[in-house]
Structure 1
Amino acid sequence: MTKVGVLVCLVIVVMDAVAGILGIKAEVAKNKVIHMRQMKNSGCKETSPEAYKLGLAAAALQALTHIIANLLGGCMCICCTEDLERSAANRQFLFTCLVLSWIVVAIGFPMLIIGMLQNSKSKESCEILHNHFLLIGGIFCFLHSLLCIAFYVSTNFRFKNETNNTLDQIHDHL
């Protein structure tokens, strides 16, 4: 993989890790508000503006990371379609990573959004929420980074590997 590829992978991992950490911090901020409410014996839900902001940042970062990984990985696939047609195993792995990354985003992103919206200022209800949407969404951010890296690396590794195999075959015939 080139230096640019390594840099892209590093950026994807860092962005998804930051999104995951923000999601977990948002859950902690929400739990602090719940704990304080229980200490005061207050029946109504007090929202956590900090959890809202952290959840929003986590969701935005996860969406941006998904877009970057799919655009860059997709461009590699589109630019080199004949290489993609030659390698069935890599194509299956690439497609599996792509589908799984979309599934993870389809689960994790709404979790972050739901957790974030539960802490919006406009929602003043008297329900006690003990779900962990922000925590689960944050964990899915970490899983998303692994799948995006596997997807991006498989697009680049395939071409390098096939080029080396072709050169080895030419060298053997000489």
Structure 2
Amino acid sequence: MPKNVGFLVCTLIMVMDVVAGILGIEAEIAQNKVKHLRVWIFECRDPSYQAFKLGLAAAVLLALAHTIANLLGGCACILSREDYQKATANKQLAVGSFIFSWITLVVGFTMLIIGTWANSRSRKSCGIAHNRLLSIGGIVCFVHGLFTVAYYVSATAAATDEKNRQRNPHRGPATHPPPPA
């Protein structure tokens, strides 16, 4: 892949996650504009169609950004502890950021979907207040963008390391032998 494409992919991922985060926060603002009655921790709220649309768009953008990064970043798999210890720093970083990107995806997507579902037109919700789910989900989108870009960059760097090692098999990992005594 040409070098300029990596920069464009990283920019695309960050823009999608930032837009998803802003949409999640805007959905929270739209949700707070509808009338609601609150008594202690219980709340009755009319649904907000605007918050529904914004929350759904944020969830779709978050999932799309994650999918693009994972498809274009490739697979940086480590199957055992021994593989992890033998792996290059780029591959170790790729695996760590891959795990954290999935965690942030699950948390952010779940919060956005729960907040969106609470604003569907068919529901007038009364029950325990679910405050700030959309805005917290939006903030998690920003964090997801950081981990996903870190995964993409480190996974492509690990793939480049692997290609270079296959071209020159006599060259070992990036560790250097100790100097002669």
Same fold (TM > 0.5) = yes
Distance in 1 (CA, whole Å) between partners of 2:85 and 2:69 is: 21
Structure number having the greater strand percentage: 2
Verify the 8 A CA contact 1:97 1:151 in the aligned structure 2: yes
Offset of residue 4 of structure 1: 0.6
The aligned counterpart of 1:172 is none
Offset of residue 5 of structure 1: 0.6
* Alignment RMSD (CA, Å): 2.7
**Ranges in structure 1 where 5+ consecutive residues have no aligned partner:** 79-83, 170-174
Offset of residue 45 of structure 1: 1.8
Offset of residue 127 of structure 1: 3.9
**Alignment deviations for residues 114-157 of structure 1 (CA, whole Å, 9 cap, x no partner):** 00011111111334735111011101110010011101111233
Verify the 8 A CA contact 1:45 1:128 in the aligned structure 2: no
CA distance 1:159–1:85, shift in 2 (3 Å): farther
The aligned counterpart of 2:32 is 31
CA distance 1:131–1:157, shift in 2 (3 Å): same
Offset of residue 74 of structure 1: 1.5
Structure number having the greater helix percentage: 1
Structural mapping, 1:90-169, within 5 Å? 90-127=90-127, 129-158=129-158, 163=164
Distance in 2 (CA, whole Å) between partners of 1:104 and 1:130 is: 19
Verify the 8 A CA contact 2:47 2:125 in the aligned structure 1: no
The aligned counterpart of 2:6 is 5
1:99 partner letter: I
Match of 1:119, SS state, is: coil
Offset of residue 86 of structure 1: 6.9
- Provide TM-score, normalisation by structure 2: 0.75
Decide which moves more: 120-129 or 60-69.
Answer: 120-129
The aligned counterpart of 1:81 is none
Distance in 2 (CA, whole Å) between partners of 1:88 and 1:161 is: 8
2:91 partner letter: R
CA distance 1:90–1:11, shift in 2 (3 Å): same
Offset of residue 159 of structure 1: 5.1
**Ranges in structure 2 where 5+ consecutive residues have no aligned partner:** 38-42, 78-83, 172-181
Match of 1:27, SS state, is: helix
2:129 partner letter: L
**Alignment deviations for residues 18-62 of structure 1 (CA, whole Å, 9 cap, x no partner):** 0000000000111121xx446xxxx84211100000000000000
Aligned length: 154
